[in-house]
Amino acid sequence: WKKYWLLAPAPSSSARPPSLTTREPKACKALREEGVSVVLVNSNPATIMTDTDIADHVYIEPLTVEVIERIIAKERPQGILPTLGGQTGLNMAVALSDAGVLDRYNVRLLGTPLETIRKAEDREFFRNFLHDIGEPEPPNRTVNSMEEALAYREEMGLPLVVRPAYTLGGTGGGIANTQGEFEATVASGLASSPISQVLLERSLVGWKEIEYEVIRDGDDNCITVCNMENLDPMGAHTGDSIVVAPSQTLTDKEYQMLRSASLKIIRGLGIEGGCNIQMAEPDSPYYVIEVNPRVSRSSALASKATGYPIARVSAKIAVGKRLHEIPNAVTGKTGAAFEPALDYCVVKIPRWPFDKFPNGDRQITTQMKATGEVMAIDRSFEAALQKAIRSLEIGNRTLLCHGEGPDTRNLMEPNDLRLWALMAALRRNTPPEELMGKTFIDPWFISAMQRIVNMERRLLGETLTPDLLYRAKRLGFSDRQVGTLADMLPEQVRNLRHDWNLRPVYKMVDTCAAEFEAVTPYYYSTYEEENEALPLPGKKAIVIGSGPIRIGQGIEFDYCSVHAAWALSQAGVSSVMINSNPETVSTDFDTSDRLYFEPLDEEAVRDIIDNETVDDVPPPSVVQFGGQTAINLSQGPGPRRSAYPGLQRRCH
C-alpha cells in the first residue's frame, strides 16, 4: 500500500479561511477510494478533518518542521500533499524541503512542484515566469528594503500597491496613496514577509477583477471549472469583494482570451491539481495579478458555485489519475474532464466583523478583513444578491436600510456598507453614471441595483397585485422587505403569497445546465415554473446550519451540523441540510441526503418545510447544532417546530 499525507492549516482565522478545512475531508475520502492510506496533520480540533474516521491516522499537533519530521520518521509516508492545506501547507512543504526532511525520508511532493510554489509566491520568480510565457503583468518591482522601496516610488509615483511575499490574505500589505501611508505599509510588509520581501506594483485600482479556477492533470489535460467577476473593482482583496459567478460583463472573446491565458499559466507552472488565477481587465488588454498554485478560498467558492468537486478531483490527480478517468460524482455518468455550465447566477458576499467591532477601520483594502462569507444562487443577479444579503444575518437583512446607517461620505473607498450607500444614492436619484464614475463598479451591476430601487418604488406606491408580487419575488425581495414597503407584516405578505399561489420552486445545481440527468441532491430556490425538488419520501428531518463564520460562531457549529446529518442518515432518517455558507462541509452535496443552499431566515426555512411537507405533515427540524442562527430561527413567530426526538443532545 501507499501512504500519503495531507498537511492541513492551523486554526481558522480571517487569513486562514475555514473553507480550507472543507477541502481535506473530501480529499481524504478521494485518496482512500484509490487505496491510499492517509495520515493527516492539523492543529485544529473543531473540524471534521480531525475526526478519527476521516484519515487513517490523525495527528493533532502544531505545524512545525520539528514535529512533522518526527511524524514522518514514524509514519514513513511515500508522498506529501500540501496543496489542499492553503498557504500554510505550501509554506510547510517549502520549509520541510529546505530542512532536507523530504530528501532524508525520501518523501515525494505531490500536486505542485516545489519550484512552482516558489515561483508563484516569490515575486521575482513569478515576474520572470510571466515574462517567459509572454503573459502581461502590471509594472512592478520586488524590493527587500525601505531604501529600494523609496527609490521605486520616486520613479513611479503614487499610488502603489504593496504586496508582501509569502503571506496569507495579504497580511501587512495595502495600497499606499500618500507618502506616509507608503512608508508605513512598506515597513509592515517587510516585517510580515518571512523573507522580508515586498512587491511594489502599479495600482490597478478601479480595474475589473476576474478570477479563473483551473485544473490540470499529469497528462497536461486542462479545464477551467469556472470564472468569477468581482463586483468590487481592483483594490479590494478578493476575500473582501462581492464576487459573481460566472462573469457577467465579458464578451465570449474576452472570456476565452482570459481562459486561454489561465491555461497557459497552469501549464507553464506544471501544477497537477487546482489553481486560482486572478486577472485585471480595463477593456481589452489585461494583466495577470496573482496565481495561487493550490486549492484556495476561491476554489471552495467555485466548487459550491458549480457543483464541481475541485478538492476531490485535485486529490485524485495528485495520485496519478487523469481528468477523464475520474467519474463526475454529479451526473454519475460523465467524467471530470469537462467544464461546468451554469444556468443560474451566484453571488458571494463577505461577512465582516464590524457588527462586533463598530469602531474598527471599515475600509476595505488589499488586506482581508472578513471572517466568513455567504453565497446565494438564483436565476437573476438581483435575486441572488438580495438572497445573499438575507444570508449575512446582519441588520434587518435587506438592502433597505442598514442598522448602522449608510456611510455615504466616500463611496470611492470601499467599505462594508458601500452596497447600502449605493442603494441610498440611487434612491436619492443620483445618476447611475455618477456612481460608476465614483466607484468604478461596472454599470451592469449599478443597473441591476437601479432595477431593485425601481421595484421598491413600485411596492411603495402601487397596490400589491399578484403580478407585482411575482415580479418582486423574481427580483429576490423577501416577504419582510415587501411588507416594509407595502405596509404589511411579513406574515401577511406570506399569506397573500399563498392565496395567490406564489411559492418558490427549487432547481438543481447539476454542473451541466440540465444537459444530462444529474443525481446530486443540491438545490436552490427561485420563482419559476418547474419545481425539481419533489418532497423526499420516507422519514426525514431538516438540519438547520449555522450560516456565515463570524466572531462568536465559528466552524465548530458546522462540525455539529454535519454530524447531525450523518447520525440521521445512520438512523435511517433522510437528512435535509439548509445552509448559506460555501466554506463548510455541511454544504458539500454528499454530506446530507438533500442540500438546500438558502438563506437561514424564517421565510426560506418555512418555504423549504412547505416544499418537504407530505400529506400535511411537515418534517421535523433539528436546530440545536446550528449555533445561535438556528436557535433564533426556532423562536420566530411562525408555527412551532419540534426537534427530532432522537437528537436532543445539546452540542455544547
Partner 1 sequence: MGALATGHGEVVFNTSMTGYQEVLTDPSYAGQLVTLTYPLVGNYGINPQDFESAKIRVAGLIVREHCDRPSHGQSDRTLDEYLKAQNIPGICGVDTRAITRRLRQHGVMMGLLTTESPEAAVAQLAEMPRYDDQDLVRTVTTEAQYRWDGEPVTLEALPLTASGNISRPTLVVGSPGENSGETQEPRPRILVTDVGVKYNILRLLQERGCEVIAMPAATSAEDMLAMNPSGILLSPGPGDPQLLDYVVDNVRQVLGRVPVMGICLGHQLVARALGGQTYKLPFGHRGGNHPVQDMSSGRVYITAQNHGFAVDPDTLPAGLEVSHINLNDGTVEGTRHRDMPLFTIQYHSEASPGPRDNEYIFDQFLGMVKEFNH
Q: Which is nearer to partner 1, 191 or 513 (CB)?
A: 513
User: In this chain, which stretch among 7-15, 34-42, 318-326, 394-402 interacts with partner 1, using CB under 8 A?
Assistant: 318-326
User: Which residue, among 168, 553, 233, has the nearest Cα to 412 in the 3D structure?
Assistant: 233
Closest CB 398 distance from partner 1, rounded Å:
22
Q: Of residues 512, 564, 565, 608, which one binds partner 1 by CB under 8 A? A: 512
Asked if 350 touches partner 1 (CB under 8 A), the answer is no
Burial class (CB in 10 A: 0-12, 13-18, 19+), 20: buried
Asked if 516 touches partner 1 (CB under 8 A), the answer is yes
Asked if 500 touches partner 1 (CB under 8 A), the answer is no
Q: Which is nearer to partner 1, 122 or 378 (CB)?
A: 378
Q: Which is nearer to partner 1, 347 or 647 (CB)?
A: 347
Alpha-carbon span 311 to 28, nearest angstrom: 9
* Angle in degrees, CA 223, 228, 231, rounded to 5: 170
Q: Of residues 16, 123, 163, 259, which one binds partner 1 by CB under 8 A? A: 259
Contact 523/509 with Cβ under 8 angstroms? yes
Closest CB 116 distance from partner 1, rounded Å:
22
Q: Of residues 433, 434, 487, 517, which one binds partner 1 by CB under 8 A? A: 517
User: In this chain, which stretch among 18-26, 401-409, 410-418, 527-535 interacts with partner 1, using CB under 8 A?
Assistant: 527-535
Asked if 60 touches partner 1 (CB under 8 A), the answer is no
Residues 6+ apart with CB under 8 A from 192: 164, 167, 171, 172, 173
Asked if 467 touches partner 1 (CB under 8 A), the answer is no
Alpha-carbon span 245 to 307, nearest angstrom: 12
* # of chain residues touching partner 1 (CB under 8 A): 51
Contact 201/140 with Cβ under 8 angstroms? yes
| Site mask for partner 1 (CB under 8 A), range 266-295, x = bound | -----------------x------------
Q: Which is nearer to partner 1, 467 or 616 (CB)?
A: 467
Asked if 4 touches partner 1 (CB under 8 A), the answer is no
Q: Which is nearer to partner 1, 136 or 282 (CB)?
A: 282
Alpha-carbon span 150 to 156, nearest angstrom: 10
Asked if 341 touches partner 1 (CB under 8 A), the answer is yes
Alpha-carbon span 615 to 106, nearest angstrom: 63
Asked if 447 touches partner 1 (CB under 8 A), the answer is yes
Q: Which is nearer to partner 1, 115 or 343 (CB)?
A: 343
Q: Where are the alpha helices (DSSP H) in 360-442?
A: 381-391, 418-427, 432-439
Closest CB 514 distance from partner 1, rounded Å:
4
Q: Which is nearer to partner 1, 211 or 556 (CB)?
A: 211
Asked if 434 touches partner 1 (CB under 8 A), the answer is no
Q: Of residues 75, 407, 491, 528, which one binds partner 1 by CB under 8 A? A: 528
User: In this chain, which stretch among 70-78, 116-124, 406-414, 522-530 interacts with partner 1, using CB under 8 A?
Assistant: 522-530
Residues 6+ apart with CB under 8 A from 582: 19, 300, 301, 303, 304, 305, 348, 373, 374, 375
Asked if 514 touches partner 1 (CB under 8 A), the answer is yes
Contact 300/22 with Cβ under 8 angstroms? yes
Other C-beta atoms lying within 10 Å of the C-beta of residue 263: 18
Q: Of residues 175, 345, 368, 609, which one binds partner 1 by CB under 8 A? A: 345
Contact 509/524 with Cβ under 8 angstroms? yes
Q: Which residue has the cell 527587500?
A: 144
Cell numbers for 605, please give them.
426555512
Sign of the dihedral defined by the CA atoms of residues 386, 389, 393, 399, in that order: negative
Asked if 470 touches partner 1 (CB under 8 A), the answer is no
Q: Of residues 529, 572, 645, 650, which one binds partner 1 by CB under 8 A? A: 529
| Site mask for partner 1 (CB under 8 A), range 185-224, x = bound | ----------------------------------xxx-x-
Q: Of residues 171, 249, 408, 628, which one binds partner 1 by CB under 8 A? A: 249
Other C-beta atoms lying within 10 Å of the C-beta of residue 634: 18
**Residue 331 φ/ψ, nearest 5 degrees:** -95, -20
Q: Of residues 81, 250, 277, 368, which one binds partner 1 by CB under 8 A? A: 250
Q: Which is nearer to partner 1, 53 or 532 (CB)?
A: 532
Q: Of residues 65, 191, 513, 571, which one binds partner 1 by CB under 8 A? A: 513
DSSP for 288-334, written as a single string: EEEEESS--HHHHHHHHHH---HHHHHHHHHTT--GGGSB-TTTSSS
Contact 645/619 with Cβ under 8 angstroms? no
**Rounded alpha-carbon distances, angstroms, from residue 248 to 143, 243, 300, 474:** 37, 11, 20, 18
Closest CB 296 distance from partner 1, rounded Å:
22
Q: Which long-range contacts link 123-132 to residues 24+ away (Cβ below 8 Å)?
A: 123/163, 123/165, 123/197, 123/199, 124/197, 126/291, 129/268, 129/269, 130/265, 130/288, 132/268
Alpha-carbon span 652 to 556, nearest angstrom: 10
Cell numbers for 159, please give them.
499610488
Q: Of residues 69, 339, 491, 590, which one binds partner 1 by CB under 8 A? A: 339
Q: Of residues 59, 152, 338, 644, which one binds partner 1 by CB under 8 A? A: 338
Closest CB 444 distance from partner 1, rounded Å:
4
Closest CB 231 distance from partner 1, rounded Å:
12
Q: Of residues 340, 372, 504, 547, which one binds partner 1 by CB under 8 A? A: 340
Would you tell me which residues interact with partner 1 (CB under 8 A)? 219-221, 223, 246-253, 255-256, 259-260, 263, 283, 322-324, 333-335, 337-345, 379-381, 442-444, 447, 507, 512-517, 528-530, 532
